[in-house]
Structure 1
């Protein structure tokens, strides 16, 4: 059993308030007294009673995170960054996974609120006025990441539209004449929040429009996207670029084309989006768009902690990206 603050005060011959100042690094205490208190606390294996502190302060020092799943390697990196940054700031983590289900997301948020989290980091599949009113019913600061919900919420995101626009320009400059855009989540447009994917679609259209190439493209939004790729007529005299909104889809397409003896990149170029770490094992090396996934997690935590401890959200502009040239384009 660990020693209490009251017991440390008795051993050191000081008041409980003096012990509290020493343990929490507050001013108004003699340095030698502070040193003595900290030494006793260490020897007696003192550990703070967070449950008691939460009752007194009305804070639990916990943050809730609502995420789709951890199957995407990028999400795993995101969660590592969030957990590490929370720990540095003295907070712990409650994670809720929704499997991209709107009702599960509502249940997850209620679950976190019931457990008195101090704030929530939300990667949402919900949207609209009803959802906004639902979030507003809680007196808890919320930071949205990736999928924008509304301007009412502090948001951390990436220049998605610009990133895909530059991806299209990159393929055009490499001599590709026809373009395929693969994004299965687009089949859910209007049903769930797919803000990031929709922004990437806009960037794809922007790029083709800028070069007057809108007549030479195909958008594939079906889950069985490989079947649609198989139906597409690749022309040897008109190189085709396939742009995917995540590296996983790009790798699946690459595998499929290899199996059908399609030359990459001479006949068909492939471009991904994420720059997941397993790409270093892939041949030909995948050309992709990299965005700062860990920085998104860190910025979300820092913004939320600043709001909790200083009362304001800092201004955070949309984060940047970069094209990672490979051998597939």
Structure 2
């Protein structure tokens, strides 16, 4: 995934006049009467050069339209200045926001991004990773679908910096996320305080438990169960773990049942649930309460305002990039704490 900037006609004229690459380091050295090494130090702001000489070199470079050769710089550094990102898909709006943050943060750090989508296919995930390895990316930000010791060992054999995000593989790999279990427990505490007696938990990914990596979704479900227990709710929630979750809801009676809350593990499910309930003539929250998770940006257009769990998705991307760049450039990186979250009280509960 690369970013291209279109130039106006005047910009192209300027480039044509100065040449695509402009002046070279060798030519700057000849004009300034110094060595190419001195020019390199000045252009990269390294020590070992007087301020007067540095100013002269930078002035000549600017006047003569000097532009660094990215290929040459990559060869000199032993890096391609690219980061691979392996992501499930972009259907979930929070993933789109996250990907945007990763691309912007990478560009600010001087790196370009290669994006690969797995479509939640474990075999395709390995193909995506291997493609990035062949492209010689400097590091990978991975939203893993695979799990277990065999996959963990596979990643170790690649000998490349990796940051996992949203789903964990093992404690060996740096991880960016929140405490999903505690966040959902806090959400259930909030719902239970509203007096709900029956609970329906909507999470289609639970159908893939044991087949793919759904760490985040498993943690949220565990938090839901813990929250119910801690609030003295002994009846187990009705769990809907099928992709046809709206159809599954259609057979549930809400009018004559105890006060019911539909708890959704992601906002995208909650929005579909709300549409379904409205089509049935049910009022939210008077007849049925609904809560989501993620606080995706489109919620501002939805009525009633969805109660949800918010975390700074852009910060996920920024932290992941900061860590992977640290691993690439210094071999180490700072500790990544779990990121904060909060309950956003809407009017759907």
TM over 0.5: yes
Using the TM superposition, give the Cα deviation of residue 53 of structure 1 relative to its aligned residue in structure 2, in angstroms.
2.5
* Unaligned segments of structure 2, at least 5 residues: 1-19
Question: Residue deviations 1:92-125, cap 9 Å, x none?
Answer: 2111111111111111111111111111100010
Aligned residues: 329
Partner residue of 1:51 out of 68, 71, 76: 71
2-structure distance, mates of 1:217, 1:186: 14
| Equivalent position of 2:131 in the other structure | 111
1-structure distance, mates of 2:63, 2:95: 41
2-structure distance, mates of 1:115, 1:214: 54
Shift of the 216–186 alpha-carbon distance from structure 1 to 2, 3 Å rule, reads closer
Q: What SS is found at the alignment partner of 1:255?
A: helix
Please tell me whether residue 70 in structure 1 is matched to residue 70 in structure 2.
no
1-structure distance, mates of 2:130, 2:167: 20
Question: Residue deviations 1:143-182, cap 9 Å, x none?
Answer: 0001001111111111100111011111110111110100
Partner residue of 2:322 out of 273, 278, 302: 302
| Equivalent position of 1:85 in the other structure | 105
RMSD of the alignment, in Å? Answer: 1.3
Runs of 4+ in 1 over 4 A off after TM superposition: none
Q: What SS is found at the alignment partner of 2:235?
A: helix
1-structure distance, mates of 2:157, 2:176: 22
1-structure distance, mates of 2:295, 2:265: 11
| Equivalent position of 2:8 in the other structure | none
- What TM-score do the two structures reach when normalised by structure 1? 0.97
Q: What SS is found at the alignment partner of 2:254?
A: coil
Using the TM superposition, give the Cα deviation of residue 75 of structure 1 relative to its aligned residue in structure 2, in angstroms.
1.0
Q: What SS is found at the alignment partner of 2:119?
A: coil
| Equivalent position of 1:161 in the other structure | 181
- What TM-score do the two structures reach when normalised by structure 2? 0.91
Alignment of 1:183-222 (within 5 A): 183-222=203-242
Q: What SS is found at the alignment partner of 1:215?
A: coil
- Is the CA contact 1:205–1:214 (under 8 Å) kept in the aligned structure 2? no
Question: Residue deviations 1:259-316, cap 9 Å, x none?
Answer: 1011210121000111111111111111111111111111111111122222212111
- Is the CA contact 1:177–1:216 (under 8 Å) kept in the aligned structure 2? no
* Unaligned segments of structure 1, at least 5 residues: none
| Equivalent position of 2:153 in the other structure | 133
Q: What SS is found at the alignment partner of 1:149?
A: coil
Q: What SS is found at the alignment partner of 1:319?
A: coil
Moved more, 21-30 or 1-10: 1-10
Please tell me whether residue 320 in structure 1 is matched to residue 340 in structure 2.
yes
| Equivalent position of 2:266 in the other structure | 246
Please tell me whether residue 226 in structure 1 is matched to residue 253 in structure 2.
no
